[in-house]
Amino acid sequence: MTVDLPAPAVAAGAATQVCVRHGQPATRQKKVIFRSYTPKWAYLLILIGVLPFAIVAAALQKRVKAPSWPFCQDCGRLRTRRFLIGVGLLALAIVGAVAASVLLPANDSTGGPIVLVFVLMVIAGLGVASTAAYGPIASGYVSNDGNTVHIRRAHERFAEQAAAIRAGAPQPYQPYPPTAPQQYAPYPHSAAPVPTHQQPEQPYRDR
């Protein structure tokens, strides 16, 4: 399932006690940067050049930095497995290219397809190795407006704790509706005059 989290809460350090993929208790907290996808129309700029595409893609990309994202032991083993597979493909491609250059004659027609296979192996190795980073393991991306972090392939236990994060996220400011001024009743006055305080007359003394 896909779980949505408010981007401000993620950037503020709000996180669950279990990992996303396995729902296991977190054994480590790592900094993760979630990014938005590049719009599809931007890939047309590759026809002009790689540099214009890279500039536009970087300008449109939204980023949310999570200072402490939970990962479990199974996440660590998944990272190691992906890294070893990627490095293995790279090593196999390099060894194969060296062996082909030594064993095949210079005018062999099969040299071109073999080189293409090794190039594809290098690309595949780099791609698999890049998925061993903490960001791909967390499997999240930012919405195009930058307000939401979408977490894919979320475990049920993660979804339950994420609901508590959404409930505690700060709500946008909403002004109170204006209220009518309070009416006060006039103070009741009695008809009888209020007596004033009079000093007693002092008898005249002849000095």
In a domain, 125, yes or no: yes
**Domain range spanning residue 91?**
3-167
pLDDT bracket for residue 198 (50, 70, 90): low
pLDDT of residue 182: 57
The answer to the question of residue 67 being in a domain is yes
- pLDDT value for 67: 93
Residue 146 has pLDDT above 50, yes or no: yes
- Residue 204 domain-assigned (yes or no): no
Helix ranges, 62-145 (H): 73-103, 111-130, 134-138
Please count the structural domains in the chain.
1
pLDDT band at 147 (very low <50, low <70, confident <90, very high): very high
Residue 99: the pLDDT is 83
The residue among 66, 65, 7, 59 whose CA lies nearest residue 38 is 59
- The answer to whether position 147 is within a domain reads yes
Asked if residue 180 belongs to a domain, the reply is no
Residue 101 belongs to a domain: yes
Q: How many angstroms separate the CA atoms of 124 and 119, rounded?
A: 9
Q: Is residue 185 situated within a structural domain?
A: no
Distance CA 149, CA 36 (A): 9
Domain presence at residue 34: yes
